[in-house]
Every structure is written in C-alpha cells, then in structure tokens.
Structure 1
Amino acid sequence: MDKEVSHEDRGFQEMELDEIARKISDIGKWREIFHFHRLEINSATHQKFQEHHKSTDSGAAGARTPQDKEQGRYPSKVLYSLPAPSVTSKWGSFPVSLAMAMGLRKILFGNTVHIFSHDWKKSCFKFHEPSSDLSYALEMGKGGSRAIQMAVQVHILKYLLFTWSEKGRDFCSLCRTSLGEQREALSAALADTLWTAGERQKVIICVITSETCFPSTGDFEADGLTEQLQLFEFSEKEDAKKFIYDHLQWFTGEGRHGVILFLYSLLLSRTFERLQRDLDISTSHLLQPTGGNFTCGQAILNLILTGRASPHVFNGYQRGNSEALLHGILARSEVGFLQWNKDGSRQQELSQVGSRLKTPKFPIWLCSINRKCSILFSDNKLLLSDWKMEHHFGLYFYSGHPSQKEAACLTIDTHSHHWEEVQQNENCVPERPVEMVIRTKWKDASVKWNGTLPFF
C-alpha cells in the first residue's frame, strides 16, 4: 500500500514539475507582452536619448522641476492610454523628438498649445459586423475625426471593389465581406494612403508606447500621446502593409487613438517640408476650430484622397483676391470628391470642385453635404470611362449615420427632364441634399430612391 502511495506521489510530483517547466517556458512570451514598450531602437538614438537626460538632470536652466525628476519617465495618466502589443523585433524604430512633436502640433493646430479632444482620442477604425449588409463599412465616430474615417472608407471601397482582384466584385459580394477581408482591406487602404503621401518612397508609421520620449517644456504641454510616439520607417509599401496588418489592433482597438495615429503617420510620411509646399497663403494649418472642437480642413481630405495636401478643390492653380497663387488638384485622382452646401449663394468660385476630383479613375466619391461627410459609389468600374453608361446607372449611398443599416440604392437618369419639371413646380421642395450633390456632377439628373425613404 505504501509503495502504491509513494508511486502516486512521484506521479503528482512529476506532473507538478511538468507544469512548472511549461510556465517557465512561457515567461519569455509574457515578458514581451507586459514590457512591450521596451521596443528596439538603434544604439545611436538610444545614446542620444540617454545623453539628453543626463544633460537635463544636471540642471539645464529649469528644464525639469523636482516633481518631474521624481516622476522619472513621465508615465501617462491620460484616459484611453492603453498598452499596445509588442512589436516584431525585425522592424527598427526610433522615438519621436521634441522638434517632431512640436511640428505635428503646429501643422495641425497652428500652435503647440492645443491638443486633441476626448472624441478625437477615442476614435478608431472599426468595421460593422462581418458578412452583414454594412460589413464593408466603418462605424463612424463623432466630431472632427469622422471626416478622416470617411476618407479612409473611400480607399477601403476602392480596394474591395476594384483592386482586391482583377475581376472585381459586385455590391452583393461586398455585403458579405468577412473578418479576414476587413483586416486585409483596412491594412491595404492605410498603407496605400501613406505610401502615396510619401511620394512612393517612404512610409512612417506611428504607434504609442507607455514611455515619454522627452520631458515637457514651456513650449510643449504633454497630452499623453504625442510625446509617447514610437516611429517605424519603411521604404517598401508591402512591408508597411504587412506591419499594419500584423499590428492592426493599434488602429482598430478602442482606446488606442487609431485615427490620430494614422493622421500623425500621414503627416510624417508626407514630411513637413512637402506639407509646407502643398499649402498656400490661404491655409497655414490643417485643423479648424468649430463649435468647441477641431474639424478637418480641405487640405487633410485632399491629402488622404490624392496624396497631396492641396487646400482647394479646383484644377491646378488659381490667383486669389490678393493675386497670390492658390493650390488646387494637380492630377486626376483615383477617388473623387463632391460637395454641396444648402446656402449655395455663398459658394465662391474657389470652392467649385474641378474635373480631376469630379471624374476620378474609380467611381467612388467622398461627399461633403452641408459640411458633413458621406460616400457615393458604384460597383461598375467602367462607369466613368464610357459616357454612354452615364445615361442611366446606379449609385450606392452611405451616410455613416448609426441608424443606417444598409446602403441606399439610387438610380440616376441623366436624360430625364424630371428635374426641370420639379424646378418649375413651386409646390415641390426639390433640395434633397444627396440629390443636389449628385447634380453637381450630373447636371439635371433625376434620382430615384427605389423604395428607400429619402433620409439625407
């Protein structure tokens, strides 16, 4: 009996030892997860960073307070600052510098004082449920970040409809987009946008870590985000796409500042020097204060759509009232832009969309309707390459409103005289905003909602 008990005890001991060995083998994995912020940086950058801290600690003219020294690396206390997963070690990276952080603030806000709001910080790129009627579409947030989400959605549609495969796909298959296809489409859309902005030479991708890369100064107030950026540089688009795909949770996860990280990546990929050349006397910075929030100026939308931060939507260059040269769209865009405002009498010539945005290579348009963004698109790649197809055709409309459960299917007739009759009938109220923005491209077109109650 004693021998049997001893045998059982040895068995249990062996099981315990096996369990301990298994846990020890996992230590490396968990150490990587919980110490993700110790990203690999090159020795030169690391040495400069250490020298900077030594010189600061030695008493450089009040650069740090005693309280700062106690806090050491300035851990973030900002809401929504969550740990990000560790980065594959093969990708080299470097921390953001004070000069770069100040440059981002200045090009966005016009100064280094303003910071992003709560709505901006919580915005990310999150799809609707896979294989649902809106499985191809992002859920849209509130405030100024919504315009960026909509502009990225245009590139997602371009990828899913026309570049996913040579044969393309129709609207029905679009509504069956799987989780894997969502991940692939978002990765491709973000990488392609950054690659175009970087003149197809270089991409910078920003992620946020738990450590601050430089101490606060009188000229730069920490926001728990900008001073904690880690930057990854790529000289090949496919490498950037793979990196984004492998770490997509940085852009899709709630609380990880996905929209801001993409915006920062976009600006750094474009470079401050190119951005200054893109802009003109009419636009000194990219975000505009509106109702207590910051909204995207036209230059940001054009940067996402075309790769160049042109402040205007007309073709080429024009002279303004001061005879200064104003910058518009320099080449035909792959995706388009349309706009219509209810108070059309205030629209100036400079706000009229030129043909390079009205007639893009692919039939997808970001629409600014009464200064709110939405999307019109077709699954017919040849729509804009054969004028005969523009006599009678279909468009799909996505507003991004939470109440919209599926895209509205519209039928456009450019040979009907229905619109002229409506204009002559004083009892009719013709100004449905979606129909009006369509008529900025197809004048006098009639629009049928095919059983859907007009909602926009």
Structure 2
Amino acid sequence: MFGGTFHIFSYEWRKSSFQFREPNSEFSYVLETDRFQGGAQAIQMAVQARIIRHLLLSEVGQRDQEKVLAAALSDSLWLAGQEVSATVTLVTEDYCITPQLDYKLDNFTERLQLFTFNEREDVRRFILEHIHCFKEEGSHGVILFLYSLICSRTVDALLNLLLTGRGSPHVFNGMRYSQEDDLPLERRLQGVLARSDVGYLHWSREQQVGSMLKTPRFPVWLCCINGSFSVLFSLNRTLLSNWKVEQMFQLYYYHGQSSQKTPARLTVTHSHHWEVKSTDSGGDPETRYHPLEMTIRTKWAGATIDWNGTAPLY
C-alpha cells in the first residue's frame, strides 16, 4: 500500500470509521467524515455513494443505517471478488504474524483475521453481524474495509475497484494504446469496460472520464473536486434513461463534512446539442464557474446550475 514496510497508517486513517449522522433525521443517510482529504475520506465517500444508491431516499433509523451500510460494504467487496467470492478482515485478539525487524507494528494489522465467502448474501449477513467493527469509534473501520477490499482483489486503482469491481488504473472507456519513448512496442492501457451502479465525475484538463462512469445504472456519482471527494445524486431514477428529463432536474450534493447540515439542492438546466446552439461567451471556465459546476458540466455540457439560495459549497 505504501511502498515500504516501515510506513504505518496516520492518525487520520486510524480514527476513521463508518459513522452515520443522527438516526431519523434529515441527514440520517449520510456518513460523517473529516476535513482530511483523500485517503480515508475518499473511501468513505465512495461507500456513501453506494448507501444512497440503496436508499434513494428516506429517513432511516439506527438499524436501517446498519443494514444499508452492510449492503454497501458487501456490494463493493463482492464486485472486487469478481462476483465469485469476497474476503472480510476483522481484528482479533491473537497476533496472526510474527513481528520482524523490517515491519513496523501498528497493533491491528498484525492481528487481522480473514474470512472468505463464496455467496454474496453470506458476505452481507456476516458484515451486518459484525457491523460494530466498521462503525464504532476506534474500530479502524475504514482501514478494515480497505484491507477487505485488497484481500478480495489486489488493486492498482482503488476508486475504480470500489465503483466497478475492477482495479483498472484509468477512467476512460475500454482499452487504449500508448507508445512510450522507452518502449519499442505499443502497450495497452485498460480503462472501464462496463457501466457500474454508481458513477464518477471529475473535471480535469488532463484526465477525461469516460461515459461508462459518467452514466451509471443509478443517478449517484462520486465526485473528485480539487482533490476532495463528495457525492452528487438525484432522486429521479429516470434521469439516466430519459433524455427529456435532462432538460431540467434536481441534483443533491453532500461534501461529507459535519458543517453541512442539509443537502444542497441544485437545479440543473440543460439543452442537448441538437436543440440549441452554444451561447458560451468564451474565456477561462475555471474563473467563471464554481468547481462543482465544472464537474457537473463534464456530464451535461453547457448546463446552467442554480444553487437555489444556498451559498456554493467547497
């Protein structure tokens, strides 16, 4: 994971788990995350997207929170195991490896025990029975899920593994070929091969996200904005199957921090290229639009976004 055996998880990693907001509240479906960007927060928000995909969307009590968290975690692990098997890691009392000079102890990695399952429902049921291991304070829940993900399938690209079940290192569609100066032959670059339940949006001049990730089966997207991860979703299941719905629709945005008390509701107005001519007045879009708006426009080109009185969130 870190390129060496002397690196251990930071404090931010170790304290991260999957904790929900207050049950039966307006935000009962969201996970609490910290300002720490990347790493654990990225994993939490990817799981958040799967939780919303399962709920779509209602207030939930504590037991409902636990059930949907177990379903979201088991979904990702089952996909990572190519829908054949999945492995769950839990911390036990006994040391499972002998400490050596080239390994730095962290007091939980060396006590991991692996549980492998060949039926999807068994994975979900086992996680639900041990849900406290992932959600309680001090449980190292995010790290346990990360280890489970890696043990279910070794990865090069963790976010793609979380979203699609395949550890492809690129976010474009299908396969591409690259000719590097120091390589005499063309080398295949593997992207995303199929649509996933949850999508991914990222605005970047260098990295283009393919339509497989932009158009998931459910209207829920993990977003990467200025290195921080958040979730964008719609309550309208037909948004991705009926182009007429895309003319004006609502999106909800959650950035994962405790300072956000309610989801931001955005109204998106969008015209397809065959309906109107572009009225873009030019200039650098980075200076004209909020980063979230730029991210939304990678999916709906030329769209206008109304924040409905909410101050733009960062």
Query: TM-score by structure 1 length?
Result: 0.63
2:252 alignment partner, SS class? strand
1:152 to 34, 38, 47: 47
Structure 2 counterpart of 1:204: 87
Distance 1:253 1:358, change over 3 A: same
Structure 1 counterpart of 2:304: 446
Structure 2 counterpart of 1:115: 8
1:310 to 165, 168, 193: 168
Structure 2 counterpart of 1:382: 238
1:425, distance to aligned residue in structure 2 (A): 8.7
1:431, distance to aligned residue in structure 2 (A): 1.9
Structure 2 counterpart of 1:361: 217
Q: Within the alignment, does 1:370 sit opposite 2:265 as a pair?
A: no
Number of corresponding residues: 303
Structure 2 counterpart of 1:164: none
Structure 2 counterpart of 1:400: 256
2:88 alignment partner, SS class? strand
1:237, distance to aligned residue in structure 2 (A): 1.3
1:188 to 71, 75, 80: 71
What per-residue deviation string (whole Å, max 9, x for no partner) do you get for residues 382-409 of structure 1? 1101111111111101111221101011
2:124 to 238, 241, 250: 241
1:263, distance to aligned residue in structure 2 (A): 0.5
1:418, distance to aligned residue in structure 2 (A): 12
- Aligned residue type for 1:339: H
Distance 1:256 1:383, change over 3 A: same
Q: Within the alignment, does 1:411 sit opposite 2:267 as a pair?
A: yes
Q: Is the 8 A contact 1:363 1:384 kept in 2?
A: yes
Structure 2 counterpart of 1:352: 208
Q: Within the alignment, does 1:177 sit opposite 2:60 as a pair?
A: yes
1:441 & 1:311 partners in 2: Cα distance?
Answer: 21
1:321, distance to aligned residue in structure 2 (A): 4.4
Q: Please list every run of 5 or more consecutive structure 2 residues that lacks an aligned counterpart in the other structure.
A: 181-185
1:419 & 1:246 partners in 2: Cα distance?
Answer: 54
- Aligned residue type for 1:249: H
1:39-438 equivalences in 2 (<5 Å): 108-141=1-34, 142-143=36-37, 144-161=39-56, 171=57, 174=58, 176-270=59-153, 272=154, 275=155, 279=156, 299-322=157-180, 323-341=186-204, 347-348=205-206, 351-415=207-271, 420=279, 423=281, 430-438=288-296
Q: Is the 8 A contact 1:315 1:328 kept in 2?
A: yes
2:92 & 2:161 partners in 1: Cα distance?
Answer: 26
1:183, distance to aligned residue in structure 2 (A): 0.8
1:198, distance to aligned residue in structure 2 (A): 0.7
1:213 & 1:183 partners in 2: Cα distance?
Answer: 28
- Aligned residue type for 1:329: V
What per-residue deviation string (whole Å, max 9, x for no partner) do you get for residues 289-308 of structure 1? xxxxxxxxxx1111100001
1:117 & 1:205 partners in 2: Cα distance?
Answer: 22
CA RMSD after TM alignment = 2.0
What per-residue deviation string (whole Å, max 9, x for no partner) do you get for residues 78-133 of structure 1? xxxxxxxxxxxxxxxxxxxxxxxxxxxxxx12232221111101100000001212
1:328 & 1:111 partners in 2: Cα distance?
Answer: 27
- Aligned residue type for 1:450: N
Identity of matched residues, %: 49
- Aligned residue type for 2:254: Y
1:205 & 1:329 partners in 2: Cα distance?
Answer: 25
1:376 alignment partner, SS class? strand
1:305 alignment partner, SS class? helix
1:435, distance to aligned residue in structure 2 (A): 0.8
1:320, distance to aligned residue in structure 2 (A): 2.8
* Larger relative contact order, structure 1 or 2 (CA cutoff 8 Å, min sep 6): 2
Distance 1:118 1:199, change over 3 A: same
2:84 & 2:283 partners in 1: Cα distance?
Answer: 56
2:146 & 2:287 partners in 1: Cα distance?
Answer: 40
1:147 & 1:238 partners in 2: Cα distance?
Answer: 26
Distance 1:401 1:415, change over 3 A: same
Moved more, 301-310 or 323-332: 323-332
1:331 & 1:185 partners in 2: Cα distance?
Answer: 24
1:444 alignment partner, SS class? coil
Return the structure number with greater helix share.
Answer: 1
2:256 & 2:278 partners in 1: Cα distance?
Answer: 27
2:299 alignment partner, SS class? coil
Query: TM-score by structure 2 length?
Result: 0.91
* Larger Rg belongs to: 1
